[in-house]
Amino acid sequence: MIFDKKAGMQQVEELLHLYTGLQLNSENADQTVLFGSILVNRISKEYTLYKEYQIEIIVPISSNELPYVIDVGHNIDESYPHRYADGRLCLETDASIRVRFIEGFSLSAWISEYVETYFFSYEYYRRYGDYPFGERGHGIDGVLQTYEELFKEPDVLKVYRLMASISSHRYRGHMLCPCGSGKKFRACHGMTVMKYYRNDRLNTIVHEDYQMIREALEKYDEQQRNSKQAKR
């Protein structure tokens, strides 16, 4: 669960206090909807953005679903690769945002770190044809990139091995690191990934993403085998 009713309303009240252009649109037992504008005033990479954006924010309550943003002001071109067809903004991978919320993230910080940064990146991309903070891949590529950052490991194969180990809860004292380095776990990735073994909510996130990646890879292998057989 990301927010229960009480925590959700506290977060919403804080958000409305900080972002005065937003207002409460509707609320029920399942979700709270905010509507209005946010002013993005940011400077980075020698580029300045000072612009308002009309958005709708949906905050699920008593659910494992993440909050999301809809571009109701039609500021984002429909051809932009990080915008969904229904107007939702593709802010980041779910894994990245879920981990942040579990570790004490707030809705206000979410707006500042993800939503404002999204609009800044979009305008920068329109101006210069490049992403100021890099571009996250889609599908399993984006998920693996997320875990490369979370695990502080650039080798995607090692990341996958670590995810498999965390997913299976296979941890023993003094074991060799699952990444395959040959080092003891504590002297390798232990300090970085131990919390994903011990925290049930974090472990569930890794397990679900690992299952998704494994199924996608198995499906790809099957397609490759079928393609080779068809050519014979």
> Domain-by-domain residue ranges, the chain?
5-128, 139-225
Residue written as token pair 């329109």: 126
Whole-angstrom Cα distance, residue 192 to residue 188? 9
CATH of region 5-128 = 3.10.110
Tell me what the mean pLDDT of segment 69-90 comes to.
94
pLDDT at 71 over 80: yes
Q: Tell me if 66 sits within 8 A of 97, measured CB to CB.
A: yes
pLDDT at 87 over 70: yes
Q: Could you give the angle at which helices 190-198 and 156-167 cross, rounded to 10 degrees? A: 30
Residue-wise pLDDT for 171-226, tens only, equals 776 889 999 999 999 999 999 999 999 999 999 999 999 999 999 998 887 888 87
Whole-angstrom Cα distance, residue 137 to residue 150? 15
Beta bridge partners of 59: 32
Tell me what the mean pLDDT of segment 151-166 comes to.
96
pLDDT at 138 over 90: no
Alpha helices, H only, 77-115? 94-102, 107-110
Residue 128's identity, in one-letter code, is: Y
Contacts of 52 (CB under 8 A, 6+ apart): 21, 37, 38, 39, 40
Tell me what the mean pLDDT of segment 24-34 comes to.
94
The full DSSP string for 116-145 is HHHHHHHHHHHHHSS-TT--PPSHHHHHHH
Radius of gyration of the chain from its Cα atoms, rounded to whole angstroms: 20
pLDDT band at 66 (very low <50, low <70, confident <90, very high): very high
Whole-angstrom Cα distance, residue 14 to residue 105? 13
What is the rounded average pLDDT for all residues in the chain?
92
Q: What pLDDT does 153 receive?
A: 97
Contacts of 130 (CB under 8 A, 6+ apart): 124
pLDDT at 126 over 90: yes
Residue-wise pLDDT for 111-125, tens only, equals 999 999 999 999 999
